[in-house]
Amino acid sequence: MKNKLIELIKKGENEKVEFKPSLSQINEIINSISAFSNKNGGKIVIGVSSKGKILGVQIGEDTIERLTNKIRDNTEPKVYPSISVNEINKKKIIIIEIEEAINKPVLAFGRAFKRVGKSTLKMSKDEYEKIVLEKKNLYFDLLQCKNASIDDIDWNFVKKFFIPRYEEITKSKIVSSPKQLLEALNCIKNNKPTNAGILLFGKNRIKYEVRL
């Protein structure tokens, strides 16, 4: 782990790695946690200068607990990153590892941030609204279509038109049943069609008020 950390520091900051000299920059650290959560995840190394010089940090009995609480209390949805302490040349370094969030956007102090290169930037209003809209649309698509049943799926279309086209595009043979395929595509859930299922394969989507 020590050798990997040294190698990580030598490579410098990038889209997935950020250095912070001390915990006094806690607000900036939390902003970067938002940014990493909203992108592809990343690591924040505390106790290292922006140029890669190892400075170390003072760590008391409750330092990590207070850091964890500060992150949790100022992010929404709450973020619980992996936090570890390592030592290089008798200097302690804190590593915060952030996973890409499933539920985006993640806010820090009520604002959303993004990662661009090695910089953490505030997300624009348009960018924020786009993510929120995409999330709403995704949730809507995955919801079961009210009052619909699998009999409302146009199975003739699925078998004669969709599956051959799907096989042509993916260049693979479908060995599962049509129903199993639609389940894998989130078009059927718990034996009922989702909104996406009715929208794509329904005999009459107007009947269920499912529109593009």
User: How does pLDDT run across 116-144, given as a tens digit for each residue?
Assistant: 999 999 999 999 988 887 777 667 787 88
Phi, psi of 129 (to 5 degrees): -65, -35
The answer to whether position 134 is within a domain reads no
For residue 82, what pLDDT is reported? 95
Q: Are residues 50 and 153 in the same domain?
A: no
State the chain's mean pLDDT as an integer.
91
Q: Are residues 163 and 93 in the same domain?
A: no
- How does DSSP classify residue 106? P
Domain boundary among 92, 124, 156: 124
For residue 206, what pLDDT is reported? 61
Query: What are the C-alpha distances in Å from 62 to residues 26, 66, 84, 98?
Result: 15, 6, 13, 21
Highest mean pLDDT: which of 8-22, 161-175, 192-206? Answer: 8-22
Q: Is the pLDDT of residue 51 over 80?
A: yes
pLDDT in tens, 137-156: 667 787 888 888 999 999 99
Q: Are residues 9 and 95 in the same domain?
A: yes
The answer to whether position 135 is within a domain reads no
Q: Are 104 and 52 in contact (CB under 8 A)?
A: no
Tell me the average pLDDT across 176-198.
91
Between β-strands 17-20 and 42-46, what pairing exists: parallel, antiparallel or unpaired?
Answer: parallel
The answer to whether position 130 is within a domain reads no
Count of domains for the chain: 2
The answer to whether position 133 is within a domain reads no
Query: What is the extent of the structural domain holding 194?
Result: 143-208
